[in-house]
Amino acid sequence: VDAEMVFDLRMLPNPYFDPDLRPLSGKDQRVAEYVLGSEPGKGFYARLQEFIENTLPLFEQEGRYRLTIGIGCTGGRHRSVAVAEALFNTLKKLDYAVTIEHRHMDLG
């Protein structure tokens, strides 16, 4: 409800359909590689990262120092978690104060 940006990742390859990856989450390296290592995943993440990196300074110029980015997929366990973790790490490296919350990862 309070997110300034929301991204739907249902177009990326879904680890749920791989029996070996299904019980894991996007925090697991194998799942992250499955999602972000695919051509659709690489392309999407590169564009997302570029968009966010270019947009954050504009929000700052307008006096907005808190921004919520929602990232979702079908189950909230694999794709959205992998991309959210990658974005979290990218923003930390850029010295932004960031937090992360996976609201649906453990719902099963």
Alpha carbon 51 to its chain's center:
13
For every one of its 108 residues, what pLDDT tens digit does the chain have, with 9 covering 90 and above? Answer: 789 999 999 999 999 999 999 999 999 999 999 999 999 999 999 999 999 999 999 999 999 989 999 999 988 889 999 999 999 999 999 999 999 999 877 776
Output the six-digit token pair for 32: 């992250």
| CA gap 92, 108 in Å, rounded | 29
pLDDT of res. 80: 96
Q: Please, are residues 12 and 42 in contact by the beta-carbon 8 Å criterion?
A: no
40 phi and psi angles, rounded to 5 deg: -60, -40
Per-residue pLDDT, 103: 80
Amino acid letter, residue 2: D
* Letter string b/e over residues 56-80, b meaning 16 or more CB atoms within 10 A of that residue's CB: beeeeeeeeeeeebebbbebbbbbb
Per-residue model confidence (pLDDT) at position 106: 76
> How much is the pTM?
0.93
